[in-house]
Amino acid sequence: MIDIEPQVWEMLGRYIGAGLALGLGGLGAAVGMGIAAGQANEGLMRQPDTQGYMLRTMLIGQAVGGSPSIFALVVGLLVLFLPSGRLEGAHFAAAMVGAGMSIGLGCFGSGLGCGWPAGKACDGVARNPRHTTSVTSSMVIGQAVAQSPSIFSIVIALMLLFVVTAPDSVLLTFGMFVGAGIAMGAGALGPGIGSGQTASGAVHGTSRWPESAGLILRTMLIGQAVSQTPAIFGMLVSFILLLGVGDVPLGMMGLAVTLGAGISTGLGGIGPGIGSGAVGDAACQATAAKPRLDTLILRTMLIGQAVSQSTAIYALIIGLLLLFVF
Amino acid sequence: METSTIMSLMNMIATQTDAGITNETLISASSLIGAGICMGFGAIGPGVGQGYAAGKACEAIGRNPQEAGLLTRTMLIGQAVAESTGIYSLVIALVMLFVIGG
């Protein structure tokens, strides 16, 4: 029989949690910044005269797109060095792993998503240097919205670090905390990637048809808002898991119910988030090319997004059934 | 060597739980987690696929707005077919919840 001491549990949780936070959270932003730099080089190859504009746009895009990895760094350092006053032993370890999972997966999506609009903006500066300002502002707005899933995941990670209280049962605690981390983290992954894709379509459209920038912005914001619904579902289930679980069974069944609900809602949001983002991408480009068809394209986009959200709703239903029926 | 490690881990988990783990609890618990995993992974594919179809429909309507009705209809039929695997996952998840797990 192994007897693991509470301090060892705490170290175990800290190391796994910080590894998940920084390993996953840095990955997306790194790839995204690389996409921006690659497109900048490609643009400079075609138009070497634009290097002043290009450097500025690339650096702004990389700076905004890099912020999810900074969120991950902050939470990762907290996970490593936060004193373990409120929770002890295995309970503390579960909270740290959950926080790392939430922030790591959430920042992965947003970091990767923010890279595409930055890349398209660099491409657009080379294509149309006179409209650098409108291209850059469309990029920054799109990136800012694409970061909101990572902000949701910070909220859940900070709740796991500072707010939650644990029940006595170790297995139930593990299910609640890690389940909330997966629900929020994986739930934010798809919307982060999808919103970024929508923003990249909008930036591309703005660079080719700068005169329809206003309509493109409207289509982009609506598309991004719809593609972020799975992240809201994930946050809802995380809140229920962390604050509102009333009479779930203790022990093994409690672990199954809470972890199952988190996995279902979280993973179920990945596909609909990415899919709705792809619809938004195409709709922004179509609106840019044919601004007089904007309402027709907007209607088709919303129908398509609604249908592609259906599986996220099934996953939410299974998650809520697990939490409230069993 | 490895078996004894796993056995002692199982022992440790069993002593940490409030009620002992019986075979029935283990079976119900695995089918409940399985329902979550089934619906979670099953929802990924249809979501991406339906989004791809709708994106192409937006593109096509932008090029040829006269055929908007036909294109929307085709998109919805395609999406309904892509939905089928999501519904299979839902059915299996419900079976695992209410037939095995309950």
Residue of A88 and B19 predicted with greater confidence = A88
Contacts of B102 in chain A (CB under 8 A): 326
> Residue A292's closest chain B neighbor by CA?
B62
How many Cβ atoms sit within 10 Å of the Cβ of residue A236? 17
Question: How many angstroms separate the CA atoms of A182 and A94, rounded?
Answer: 12
Tell me whether A164 touches chain B (CB under 8 Å). Answer: no
pLDDT single digits (tens) B73-100:
999 999 999 999 999 999 999 999 998 8
With CB atoms and an 8 Å threshold, state whether A308 touches B50: yes
Q: Find, among B11, B18, B47, B30, the residue nearest to A229 by Cα.
A: B47
pLDDT single digits (tens) A280-299:
999 999 999 999 998 999 99
Question: How many angstroms separate the CA atoms of A3 and B52, rounded?
Answer: 52
> Residue A286's closest chain B neighbor by CA?
B62
Question: How many angstroms separate the CA atoms of A161 and B88, rounded?
Answer: 38
pLDDT single digits (tens) A212-228:
999 999 999 999 999 99
How many Cβ atoms sit within 10 Å of the Cβ of residue B100? 14
Of B12, B28, B40, the CB nearest to A267: B40
Question: How many angstroms separate the CA atoms of A194 and A171, rounded?
Answer: 34
Question: Are A242 and A213 in contact, with CB atoms under 8 Å apart?
Answer: no
> Residue A285's closest chain B neighbor by CA?
B59
Length, in residues, of chain B: 102
Question: How many angstroms separate the CA atoms of A187 and A165, rounded?
Answer: 23
Question: How many angstroms separate the CA atoms of B98 and A49, rounded?
Answer: 67
Question: How many angstroms separate the CA atoms of A105 and A112, rounded?
Answer: 11
A308 Cα distance to chain centroid: 18
Tell me whether B7 touches chain A (CB under 8 Å). Answer: no
Question: How many angstroms separate the CA atoms of B61 and B53, rounded?
Answer: 12
Prediction ipTM score: 0.86
With CB atoms and an 8 Å threshold, state whether B43 touches A311: yes
Query: What average pLDDT does the segment A170-178 reach?
Result: 90
Distances (CA, A) of B28 to A268, B20, B35, B90: 22, 14, 11, 18
What is the distance in angstroms between the Cα of A48 and the nearest Cα belonging to chain B?
Answer: 32
With CB atoms and an 8 Å threshold, state whether B40 touches A264: yes
Least confident of A89-103, A109-123, A156-170, B13-27: B13-27
Q: Residue B87's pLDDT is what?
A: 94
pLDDT single digits (tens) A44-63:
999 999 988 899 999 999 99
Q: Residue A325's pLDDT is what?
A: 85
Question: How many angstroms separate the CA atoms of A301 and A279, rounded?
Answer: 6
Q: Find, among A290, A266, A69, A284, the residue nearest to A195 by Cα.
A: A284
Q: Residue A1's pLDDT is what?
A: 41
- Residue B19 scores a pLDDT above 90: no
Question: Token match 């932003």: residue?
Answer: A29
User: How many contacts (CB atoms, under 8 Å) link A and B?
Assistant: 223
Query: What average pLDDT does the segment A1-10 reach?
Result: 77
What is the distance in angstroms between the Cα of B64 and the nearest Cα belonging to chain A?
Answer: 10
- Residue B1 scores a pLDDT above 70: no
Question: Are A230 and A195 in contact, with CB atoms under 8 Å apart?
Answer: no
Interface with chain A: mutation pick from B17, B58, B64, B67, highest number of A CBs within 10 Å: B58
Q: For domain A6-324, give the fold.
A: Four Helix Bundle (Hemerythrin (Met), subunit A) (1.20.120)
Q: Residue B39's pLDDT is what?
A: 94
Tell me the CA end-to-end span of chain A in Å, nearest whole number.
32
Residue ranges per structural domain of chain A? 6-324
Query: What average pLDDT does the segment A189-194 reach?
Result: 96
